[in-house]
Amino acid sequence: MVSSPTVLDSSCVLLVGTSEWLTQFKTTLNTRTDATVQRVETKSEALEVFQTDSKDCIITAYTLGETTGLDLLRGLC
């Protein structure tokens, strides 16, 4: 059975962090959807991408080396 397109198929997703689960999640998104998925490792990289590109969804690890995912999300507001 062929699945219907979903909103995720036309979404741009930014993954932030170095956690292994993000690697697995990126692979799953790329395999199961047509979403555009980009991954960066640091808060500064994420802020740069967010300022230059439109993203529909940001998924972050809690620990980002120099800071936390919560600090990153606060910086986006």
Half-sphere exposure of 39 (CA within 13 A, CB side): 16
Take residue 39 and report the two structure tokens written for it: 């991954």
Q: Tell whether 68 is covered by a domain.
A: yes
The per-residue pLDDT for range 27-65, each reduced to its tens digit, is 999 999 999 999 999 999 999 999 999 899 999 999 998
Residue type, 73: L
The terminus-to-terminus CA distance of the chain in angstroms comes to: 41
Q: How many domains does the chain have?
A: 1
CA neighbor of 72 nearest in space, from 52, 36, 39, 42? 42
Q: Tell whether 56 is covered by a domain.
A: yes
Cα 13 to Cα 6: distance, rounded to the nearest angstrom: 14
pLDDT at 2: 55
Q: Which domain holds residue 34?
A: 7-76
Q: Which residue has the higher pLDDT, 65 or 18?
A: 18
Q: Tell whether 50 is covered by a domain.
A: yes
Residue type, 41: E
Q: Tell whether 32 is covered by a domain.
A: yes
pTM of the model: 0.88
Give the CATH number, domain containing residue 50: 3.40.50.2300
